[in-house]
A and B are shown apart, each in its own frame.
Chain A
Amino acid sequence: MLKYIIKRILQFIPVFFGVTLILFLVANYMPGSDPVQMKVGEKHVTPELRKQIEQDYGLNRPWYIQYGDYLVKLTKGDLGVSISTGREVSDIILEKYPFTLNLALVAIAIEIVIGICAGVISALKQRTFLDILVTLATSISVSLPVFWLGLLLQYFFGIYLKQQTGGAFYLPISGASGALPTWEYYILPGITLAAVSTAYGARIMRSQLIEVMGMDYIRTAKAKGLSGRQILFHHEMKNALIPVVTFIGLDFGAMLAGAVLTETVFNWPGIGFTVYRAIMARDFQVVIGCVTVILFAVMIINLLVDISYAFLDPRIRFGGSEE
């Protein structure tokens, strides 16, 4: 098991260098990569000002020197300075990441609870009203564009309900109000962010469970006289969950990179929009800083997912199958 984990961690090294190197090359050779002009706007940049800014932000050095500088500074936890705002990138990330992480946790909780429950129910109640309801709900959910669902929720819970109840009952629309928003602020963005994946999660759960239910070993378990509950939790669920865990784990990793649409619609001060804005402003220090942190976060999640397989599937735990 330990060997497996170490192997996974070592795989991170080429991924890290691959991603960061490509980013540095893109930033330097991409057409229109001119952060100085973006900082000044449509107005003319005098050569003196350009020279000064390039010198202050180290943009006048070749990319490999900049890359080396980035690596050296990274070991000290220094992610550089944003050219468009003059702020420390590490400050920006420390400020934004809790928002992204919390929202991702809420969304993943919704995904796990509702997605898995709905999937199990519809598998157990195949071709009943409940099954049809779940299938219908997941179909709708999958096909709704995220921002549109967000807007609908905002209008219904934020405006319509507020007007109907004279302001007594409503949900906050945007996350701008608090230092770290109180829990009611998470509801609408959480649902929006989780919507599509919850539907996929439910569908995967349903199909996997139905497949497992038809297996010979389930019939054997039944013949052994195990109760329905024992069969469901010890045999069916455990086997059916592996693809679901893979899906949810990957999705969680994606959420840790921020969710630009959800963050925009709900004005959520997360990392996704920060990266988006930095790309638009060619604020490369912010992009590389955020990507570095996201990279670490995603790698950790992937590692956790891999480890969880081992608990679900004894063949992995005991090294019975080639990984």
Chain B
Amino acid sequence: MRKRNVFLILAVAVVMVFSLAGCGEKATTGSTSGSATTTPVKGGTMSFYIGEPAYIDSYNCQETEGMQVVQAISDSLITVDSLDSSKLLPAAASSWSKNADATVWTFKLNPKDKFSDGTTVTAKDFIYSWNRIANPSAKNTLTGKSDPSVISYHLGFIQGYDAVQSGKSTELSGLKAVDDYTLQVTLSQSFADFAYVVTHPSLGPTPQKAVENGVTYNGKNVAFGDMPVGNGPFKMAEPWKHDQYIKTVRNDTYYGTAPYLDGVDFNIFKDPETAYTEFEAGNLDFTQIGAGKIKDAESKYGTSKNGYTANPNAQVLLGGETSVYYLLMNNENKYFKNENLRKAITLAINRQAICDIVFEGTREPADGIVPPGIAGYEKDTWTDSKYDIAAAKQALIDAGYPGGKGLPTVRLSFNSDGGHEKVMELIQADLKAIGINTTFDSADFPTYLKQLDAKNYDLGRLGWVADYPIEYNFLYPVFNSKSGDNKAYYKNTSVDTAISDAEKITDDAARLTKLQAINKTIGAANPVAPIMFYRHHHVASARLNDFTFDAMYLGNFSKVWITPGK
């Protein structure tokens, strides 16, 4: 009697487990009979991996996660060609012009441009949107409470910015709607690269009514912050499901060429590894490749030739990104103000080894501060940004510290929470090889940044991610003596002047030449040691055709199409 009962319990448990397991009814059709077409076809929804964004309301959107969504649902005045950052393309503005000293910019808006709710986009919508960003008492639409934008610095050159930031005014005096379709922007100083600033996805127009009153969805009022309305090729299909997904569908009121896709689902994952597992299971169209699996992915899915555009059997993207990781040297420090010492350090670092050992090829050695993908990028602009031990030892002799004699043990500072320790271990070994002894000094991120602000470091690390793909965006913030992001405390007044002079040159080619020259001048002084550029390590599914994920880390959703039947 008892015997049977025991087996009954066991049998029930086993049956339960296996009957639970037999429930994958939601199976997608596994047939891959779709004929290989080469002409784009409409239809299909693409699924795209992102982490949980902080904001998708463009006024406070700064990180790459939210930016993907904003990029799909909102068009700025101008856009950058996904594959050639030197080319600017019309978007919400069909044309634009600047005056002789690049202080007054006029944008002619496309009269066909509409928000996805059907209302026409006018110059006033841009002004409203930008004033909201600049205004420190801007309200978060989710709570109705004050929540200032952390990206207002984009508008820093617009006349009246300081008055708005200090609360003396609520409107940027430099913004003017000449008429419904003409936006005039007056800057407080010459800035010939301003056209690139307005390509930023967060600077698109927002409809005041929807921002202030919310949006109606299924008879309920939803805050703009959870269901923003824009003028992009796609629109929100439903409110943001936090930590789960953001669904967008084609915006039928779009003024530009209609996208092929019916929609883009942004699937939110906590961990890229899980996203990659979902990709391998066939449930995601675009994601990062899991750690240590790049070679495997390349052999399974094929590698894209240009590194940015995915097509069937050329699905792995390894193109360079517009971000740089560099070793900081405290230029005000009694030892590191010595240019030759800085030169010795930068020559001593084996960048290729760091990229290969620590990052499995997901980074590439930096040959300067400006990464590829930036308009005007040239190879090997910083001549000392290479591995050459003999030259490093010579530079150390020139610096007056032969074999490291006379140098104290140097502090190598970094933030402990970002996986930098392995990089620092290799750098430590490289420096030891030329006779410079270092000791680790790590702290959590905010403490570390405070340490940099207090100039209380010898050597450190930082990364710089481009806001816009222009050289200026590296030279000014990282090296201008007045910039808050110049943590190396490099100070060269002639470089400061040269940068602002360059921005007075309205001829694009001439300005670029000048900026390239300034880059080389800075590079010759080695104020920092560029270590590596970031690279894509992404993969697309075999269904996707012509999907470009550009150097600025933005997906181009307007050209991609899905092979039917897949």
Contacts and interface: CB of A to CB of B under 8 A. Distances in A.
A315 interface: no
Contacts of B10: 117, 121, 130
Interface in A133-175: 151, 154-155, 157-159, 161-162, 166-175
Interface string B6-19: 10011001001000
Contacts of B271: 264-265, 267
B134 to A, nearest CB: 12
Contacts of A120: 6, 9
B293 to A, nearest CB: 13
B241 A179 contact: yes
A263 B274 CA distance: 10
Interface stretch (B121-129, B207-215, B439-447): B439-447
Interface in A209-268: 228-229, 232, 263-267
A48 interface: yes
A80 to B, nearest CB: 10
A281 to B, nearest CB: 9
B419 interface: no
Interface in A11-49: 31-34, 37-46, 48-49
Contact of A168 (B24, B147, B166, B241): B24
A277 B277 CA distance: 22
Given A49-B150, A121-B9, A172-B26, A44 B281 contact: no
A160 to B, nearest CB: 10
B143 A176 contact: no
Contacts of B280: 159
A84 B270 CA distance: 16
A44 B418 CA distance: 18
Contact of A56 (B2, B145, B281): B145
A117 B446 contact: no
B21 A282 contact: no
A87 B24 contact: no
B517 interface: no
B13 A114 contact: yes
Contact of A86 (B147, B241, B273, B282): B147
Contact of A39 (B52, B136, B150, B444): B150
Interface residues of B, number: 74
Interface stretch (B100-108, B111-119, B242-250, B387-395): B242-250
B165 interface: yes
A264 B270 contact: yes
A52 interface: yes
Contact of B281 (A84, A114, A173): A173
B148 A49 contact: yes
A101 interface: no
Given A37-B446, A86-B143, A173-B274, A162 B24 contact: yes
Given A32-B445, A169-B22, A184-B23, A264 B274 contact: yes
A174 B269 CA distance: 9
B484 interface: yes
Contacts of A269: 242-244
A75 interface: no
B336 to A, nearest CB: 21
Contact of A37 (B30, B449, B463): B449
A31 B6 contact: no
A96 B268 CA distance: 14
A113 interface: yes
B28 A167 contact: yes
Contacts of A321: none
Contact of A96 (B166, B243, B273): B243
A177 B284 CA distance: 11
A295 to B, nearest CB: 22
| Most chain B beta-carbon neighbours within 10 Å: one of A32, A117, A183, A264 | A32
A278 to B, nearest CB: 12
A106 B463 CA distance: 44
B267 interface: yes
Interface in B49-83: 52, 54-55, 60, 62-63
A151 B281 CA distance: 12
A187 interface: yes
Contact of A48 (B13, B166, B267, B465): B166
Contacts of A42: 449, 462-465
A306 interface: no
Given A56-B147, A162-B282, A184 B27 contact: no
Given A32-B443, A167-B29, A87 B281 contact: no
A228 B270 CA distance: 51
B25 to A, nearest CB: 8
B446 A38 contact: yes
Contacts of A174: 269, 274, 278
B23 A37 contact: no
B417 to A, nearest CB: 8
A232 to B, nearest CB: 8
B445 A38 contact: yes
Nearest to A268: B270
A232 B6 CA distance: 12
A151 B290 CA distance: 13
Interface in A172-206: 172-177, 179, 183-184, 187
Interface string A277-288: 100101000000
B330 interface: no
B302 interface: no
A259 to B, nearest CB: 12
B36 interface: no
A88 B443 CA distance: 31
A102 to B, nearest CB: 14
Given A38-B445, A171-B23, A88 B142 contact: yes
Of all A-B residue pairs in the complex, the 10 with the closest CB atoms, nearest first, are A44-B484, A167-B30, A34-B446, A32-B444, A269-B243, A86-B140, A170-B24, A32-B447, A166-B30, A86-B147
Given A52-B137, A85-B54, A167-B29, 9 more contacts: A32-B445, A158-B281, A167-B27, A171-B23, A183-B23, A264-B271, A266-B274, A267-B275, A280-B417
6 contacts: A34-B447, A42-B464, A46-B153, A158-B278, A176-B244, A273-B243
Interface of A: 31-34, 37-46, 48-49, 52-53, 56, 81, 84-88, 91-92, 95-96, 113-114, 117, 120-121, 124-125, 130, 151, 154-155, 157-159, 161-162, 166-177, 179, 183-184, 187, 228-229, 232, 263-267, 269, 273-274, 277, 280, 282
